[in-house]
Chains A and B, each alone.
Chain A
């Protein structure tokens, strides 16, 4: 199994440009997440989805949009990139049980630089 696959792995954008990050999982997980990781700040949740066709905001959603048209895919869009969005982005997926989300499986990350 491939697990969680993110594309692209690296990208450099100019301020104001737009882009879409793609995440695909082959584990039939209900939950999918987008996180950003910045030095000294840990992983912060941007948006998440509890199932096909549903999305919700996380801790730091401003400047990002998401879509989950298919259960296996979760897209993260930046409409007008800003230098503050320079970060490493991780997609993750998990099951949901009675206690809540189970452990997450992460992709390899996308290193985005906005100049």
Chain B
């Protein structure tokens, strides 16, 4: 069964304290992996798409990486405005019904 697991469920960091969020997956054929950011009371906002193992993408303090079994979202020197829930989604086939979301990591950055 296709599955996406995100860890930890919640993470509290001090401003400037770098860390990583994990998204591990078991799917029969990865077509793509997406990272989204979701602020309270709002819809998810797209961050990155990764297609193959070894691929990396960066945006400001965020860097996403992909292996054959998991993806990491590295956050370097975070600021309070980086506080949000980060969602990972895996596309396990060409059908739209094959997009599976993880339950997210709730990130809180203390000033």
A residues near B (Cβ < 8 Å) are 4, 31, 33, 35, 40-45, 48, 50, 56-59, 90, 92, 94, 99-109
B residues near A (Cβ < 8 Å) are 4, 31-32, 34, 36, 41-46, 49, 51, 87, 89, 91, 93-99, 101-104
Total number of A-B contacts with CB less than 8 angstroms?
68
Distance of A103 Cα from B99 Cα, bound (Å)? 10
Partner of B87, one of A4, A42, A100, A109: A42
Residues of B within 8 Å of A41, CB to CB, are 103
Residues of A within 8 Å of B94, CB to CB, are 99-100
* Other contacts beyond A48-B96, A100-B31: 18, CB < 8 A: A35-B101, A41-B103, A42-B4, A43-B87, A44-B101, A45-B97, A48-B97, A57-B97, A94-B96, A99-B31, A99-B32, A99-B94, A100-B95, A100-B96, A106-B43, A108-B41, A108-B42, A109-B42
Do A107 and B95 touch across chains, with their CB atoms under 8 A apart? no
Distance of A90 Cα from B97 Cα, bound (Å)? 15
